Chains A and B, each alone.
Chain A
Amino acid sequence: MLNDKIKQLVETCIARISNIDEMSANDLQKIKSESLGKNSELQNMLKSMRDLSPEERPAFGQLVNEARKTLESAFAEAEAKMKEKVLNEKLQKETVDITLPYQSVSCEERGHLHPVNLVANEIMDIFKGLGFEVLEGPEIETDYYCFEALNIPKNHPARDAQDTFYIAEDIVLRTHTSPNQVRVMEKKQPPIKMLCPGKVYRSDDDASHSPMFHQIEGLVVDKNVTLCDLMGTLETFAQSLFNEQTKARFRPSFFPFTEPSVEVDLTCSNCGGKGCKLCKGTGWIEVLGAGMVNPKVLENCGIDSTKYTGYAFGMGLERIAMIKYGIPNIKLFFENDVRFLKQFR
């Protein structure tokens, strides 16, 4: 008898709150207090328990409690729906006529490019003037373009130097912009003068490294291209980017895709070569890596290495920006605080 009553109570209540759409939040609240509140029928039934025999009480108590739980979860669900409905109604009410004419745009001060792109643009402008085309390549690369074609075979120790993010066995996030050298040379016979800016990735994240950063790569392949041309090009570039007095210095180094390979130092833009904190007293700052394109790479791309020579260089744009603007920490580039961004022009 009582069991049926409880069952019916629950069913009626659930039926009452089943149609949220036609109800207000207040309605729902009211039903809730009627069904579960102090003076609710359920509470009254609980009070009536004292009329039962001690044997009957536990079973009945459990029944009422179960009913309460069922109702509570039904209300929780209804309330969530109600909340969504109220939000949607609010959003509905806020609806604007999106076809209205736009606001005229004015501003107190110009915005600026990100310092990395500011530097990239400056570099591209310099090299465009020297006849370089800007050609971009994919950031997700095949192992072949990123390594093999550049004379870095699998299991070669040179791969240790670049902590690679892998997507699949033969697909990587490019660790440098050099793969685009190969892509361009495969498609095009000399003369080639190209510049490739872009994002590169290495699994390295500490105070002085960011897992994503930017490089710009330069490549020239033609008849009669020499190491002296590389030196001249980079010196011209450095003088345009920093100042007229800037000199370049080569130090022997090794990259699998160039031979000879050099590290290029520039006279310190801060002290002009006298020696300061920035250049650790040496007067020189290590800025980029370069070299004469390894004939193996030319051959991999179908270019006659007996006829053509070439040079390639690559540099980190964050590093250039840090030197040029005196930015102390690579992390600042990716925090994008407007007070930082506004400073560069």
Chain B
Amino acid sequence: MNKRQKTLKKLAGQKVLFFMIIPCMIYTFIFSYYPLSGWIMAFQNYKPAKGYSGSTFVGMDQFMFLFKDVEFWRSVRNTLAMSLLNLVFSFVFAIVFALLLNEIKSLGLKRITQTVSYLPHFLSWIIVCSLVSNMLSTNDGMINNFLMGIGLIDKPVLWLGEQKYFWWVTTFSNVWKETGWNSIIYIAAISGIDQALYEAAELDGASRFQKMWHVTLPGIKSTIVVLLIMNLGWVLNASFEVPYILGSGLLQDVSQTIDIFVLKYGMSIGNYSLATAAGIFKSVISLALVFGTNAIANKLGESSLM
């Protein structure tokens, strides 16, 4: 009784909060949850011409098609490998870049470096990949020329023809294109750190690196953790374009990702149901990953999403 009254009172005190949030929840329901009724097509052999009601139900067939195919599991492995490499390296590079940038004293140099660094984000992957491919060429490619010039190798390496290099090529292509863009949020987070903390640290005689380690990093830690958890949820979605553009028959075993697999066997041959089934599979894994890591972060006393 008492408890309920308390809750009611609490609710009453929060009516403004609910007034702010409820319309947004309704909106989200309409735009995100309601269309999920379309997931029904994953259990059908859906034909746009027949609609949901006219298409035949096939139970779990679409899922079975995926799960029974060795190629699919290989795609899962490739996707995970490339996404995780990419996640780790893009985080590390973006954070280190943001930290170093923060140390630049000259405002002009700082601004220029920052502005220049995010330019590649605006180029399409087709453009970036074609530059990557030219640089890695055995035929007068910049990388091979350089490595031969300093004597590390004595004949050109076929970077894009050997499976063992491919994941690294995709990872560093990504680092090249997105580091500047990814660092923006950290730069913002760093500038949100209370200057008083630095002053205090200075009084304590902290060195530059000590300040980075004990003030700056903790100051952006919550941002890092939150972004990391959220991005972890997308590991199965990531890495579509680069492997798609740079991959070739020789590399198929390491370059085919889930999305490429679904493209070939789903959309390209008009199988919307398969694409939907794969989407559901990815959603389930994503949610498990996000809520799992979130719980772990909570346990560790880190900041988390919820």
Do the two chains bind? no
